[in-house]
Amino acid sequence: MNKHRADESTHRRLLDLVIGEKCPMVLMVEDGVVACGLGILTGDVYGIFDVVTDREHRRQGYALELMEALLDWGINARANHA
């Protein structure tokens, strides 16, 4: 998605340091991944981070769809605060 790719192993090590339950999500259409984001639940507090939409797929509602899915996950995981 991005021409500035981070080293995958470094990214995975950083995610391993995160305390709480992680919910990585990707939104795919027929030609592949168009958006991604990360939800993290710690106790009853839920945060959403790093929501990104591929430049060629912006302004088509994909980020909204992804945000709704991430929020639904937080609700189902019993988060009380976001």
Q: What is the pLDDT along the chain (82 residues), one digit of tens a residue?
A: 455 566 778 777 877 888 889 999 999 998 899 999 999 999 999 999 999 999 999 999 999 999 999 999 999 999 999 8
- Domain total for the chain? 1
Domain annotation covers residue 70: yes
Domain annotation covers residue 22: yes
Q: How many whole angstroms separate alpha carbon 58 and alpha carbon 82?
A: 25
Strands (E), 15-78: 21-29, 32-42, 45-53
Print the domain residue range for 30. Answer: 8-76
Domain annotation covers residue 47: yes
Q: How many whole angstroms separate alpha carbon 9 and alpha carbon 4?
A: 15
What is the pTM for the complete model shown?
A: 0.80
Report CA torsion sign: 10, 14, 17, 19.
negative
Q: Residue 31's CB: how many other CB atoms inside 10 A?
A: 9
Domain annotation covers residue 2: no
